[in-house]
Structure 1
Amino acid sequence: MAELNRLRESSGLSRLEVAERIGSTDTTIWRYETGLSRPKPSDVAALTEVYGVTGQERASLIEMAKEARKRGWWHRHRQALKPGFDSYIGLEAEASVVRCYEPLVVPGLMQTQPYARAVIEATSVTHTPSEVDEKVAVRISRQRLLHGTGGGDPIHLVAVLDEAVLRRQVGGREVMREQLEHLVGLAALPNVEIRVIPFSAGAHAAVDGKFCLLGFPEPDAADLVYLEQAASGLVLEDPEEVRRYTLMFGSLTALAFGTEASAALVAQVAKEL
């Protein structure tokens, strides 16, 4: 961001002096100022404090950082994605914790490629084969977040699944068996929790549909909610809405099996296939 360079020069500070004040390196500051790296909103907040920037100017710079961080590798695929989903992928990439509830299919972060293709082909009724390929590629690429292979620490994923997710044979028996076995493997990771709500639990707070809660590593960053529909996605920032979905997620985990019992059920259904 060129504006960060201007502010630093106006302050009379060197890059090294700024880096020492915010606990970074002069190379990092240089990369921010030249646009080679996109600073996190928390980084911009720290820099503006050093430069004595306050009020609307500070708020605008932090907002610019938020918007810039939404444009990553996925941005070139935005034409193949539903409106709002490219913004979600950007936020997901910045999150430290993702909590999701899925009533019908395995969450995208946990799908095998054959399973993902079967889901996308079934739902992309107006898409060409090349657009389906592109959406599958985006979905699989997002999964680097679980293993930290995209840079940074792996995200912590908590997935609450309805039992219907395990029973619905997406893509046929072999594809489904492979998918369930993949879930068993993911459940063994220290940063992944899978909880299954059994059919016997009956109605619950989220019978209206799926949702995701995103939590971020910055202490002052509020959680967000993502809601997805057939043709669009919506990010909710209102604190009361976020609180409502947080309470809903808590009630779902209370109804669900524990992680060990859930993994055993997934393995059992896979064996049945």
Structure 2
Amino acid sequence: MPAGGRPTVRSRRLGSALKRLREAAGVDQSVAAQAILRSVTKVSRLESGQVSASALEVRTLLDCFGVQDEDERRRLEELARASNQRGWWLDYQETLRPDYADHITLESDSTYIRSWEPSLIPGLLQTPEYAESVISSGPSFIPPERIAQLVKVRQERQRRIEEGGVHFTAIIWEPAVSALRHDPAVRDGQLRRLLDAGQHQNVTVQILPAAASKTAGMSGAFVAFSFGIEPNVEAVAVRTAAHTTVVEAPEDLAAYVNVFDQLRSAALSAEESAERIRQTLGGAPDQMEEAT
């Protein structure tokens, strides 16, 4: 059983990949079950993510399916090993909702992350002060001690960005940045954080002008994840006021890729975005709107 006693995003990703490869090879579940000396029920539960496969079972199944690609084999074997590993976020499991833990797992495994935020600064770029302000003003009451833990979680999530372990592209609608003028206690620190982040080679920050409201209205906030050498989107986390949903169906992923491409095309370049942020930091409250 995956860690935590329920299907995890890792076990689901592994199961989905094995099912895709099995079907592409024209192998039925009974043959796969014989290859790993397990029951058809076990194979079915493995493909649905209800149970995890060992690295040896994955290797045997890939042989059975005729998969020769060494990068693919290595990636799936590593995913099998990771399925039951304990992530740092489990230290906060009494504080985190299961869907939030899934989101962090996706971040932890990703090689590329693309974020679209129409109303907030992305969590991976938030200062502690901004994070506390956002969390405390949410739709549900959160005790102060839990707010402090959630702020720590955000800071811990940012380590992969700071260490260069993942390529991160953030597109932020301009009103989310200009709204910082109304919160001077956190404004300067958060704006400097955006500028500093944009200096890292693995981070791109782009502002979508306020005037591009039609483009901004194409979708609510979402984060797209890639897990291999190539930046192919393999999962998307869609945030609502109540929870986060992970999208994995190919046709749905294609739609989000299309939306992100349109957002990126309409956004200012990284250099222009940095200049727009500096204008706000410099205390010119009306320049952002006038320059759109």
Q: When the two structures are superposed, what TM-score results if normalisation uses the length of structure 2?
A: 0.68
Equivalent residue, structure 2, for 1:133: 148
Superposed counterparts of 1:172-183, under 5 Å: 172-183=183-194
- The answer to whether 1:145 aligns with 2:160 is yes
- The answer to whether 1:68 aligns with 2:79 is no
User: RMSD value over aligned CA atoms?
Assistant: 3.3
Is the Cα contact below 8 Å between 1:119 and 1:170 reproduced in 2? no
C-alpha distance in 1 between matches for 2:248 and 2:175: 30
Deviations 1:50-105 (A, max 9, x none): 995669xx9x9887546425x40101212322331101101111101100000111
AA aligned opposite 2:210 = F
Superposed counterparts of 1:228-239, under 5 Å: 228-239=239-250
Is the Cα contact below 8 Å between 1:97 and 1:155 reproduced in 2? yes
Task: Return the offset for 1:46.
Answer: 9.8
C-alpha distance in 1 between matches for 2:185 and 2:232: 42
The verdict on how the C-alpha distance between 1:265 and 1:61 changes in structure 2, with shifts beyond 3 A counting, is closer
Of 211, 215, 219, the match for 1:204: 215
Aligned residue for 2:116, secondary structure, equals strand
C-alpha distance in 2 between matches for 1:177 and 1:53: 58
Q: When the two structures are superposed, what TM-score results if normalisation uses the length of structure 1?
A: 0.73
Equivalent residue, structure 1, for 2:135: 120
C-alpha distance in 1 between matches for 2:150 and 2:207: 27
The verdict on how the C-alpha distance between 1:219 and 1:102 changes in structure 2, with shifts beyond 3 A counting, is closer
Equivalent residue, structure 2, for 1:186: 197
Task: Return the offset for 1:207.
Answer: 4.0
Is the Cα contact below 8 Å between 2:58 and 2:80 reproduced in 1? no
Is the Cα contact below 8 Å between 1:45 and 1:62 reproduced in 2? no
Task: Return the offset for 1:181.
Answer: 1.1
Deviations 1:17-56 (A, max 9, x none): xxxxxxxxxxxxxxxxxxxxxxxx9x9389715995669x
Matched positions, count: 226
C-alpha distance in 1 between matches for 2:190 and 2:144: 22
- The answer to whether 1:100 aligns with 2:111 is no
AA aligned opposite 2:141 = T
Unmatched 5+ stretches in structure 2: 2-51, 67-72, 285-292
Of 103, 125, 129, the match for 1:110: 125
Deviations 1:154-179 (A, max 9, x none): 21110000001111138821311110
Unmatched 5+ stretches in structure 1: 2-40
Aligned residue for 2:121, secondary structure, equals coil
Aligned residue for 2:242, secondary structure, equals coil
- The answer to whether 1:261 aligns with 2:276 is no
Equivalent residue, structure 1, for 2:283: 272
Identity %: 27
Aligned residue for 2:282, secondary structure, equals helix
C-alpha distance in 2 between matches for 1:232 and 1:135: 15
- The answer to whether 1:224 aligns with 2:235 is yes
- The answer to whether 1:252 aligns with 2:263 is yes
C-alpha distance in 1 between matches for 2:61 and 2:248: 28
Task: Return the offset for 1:147.
Answer: 1.9
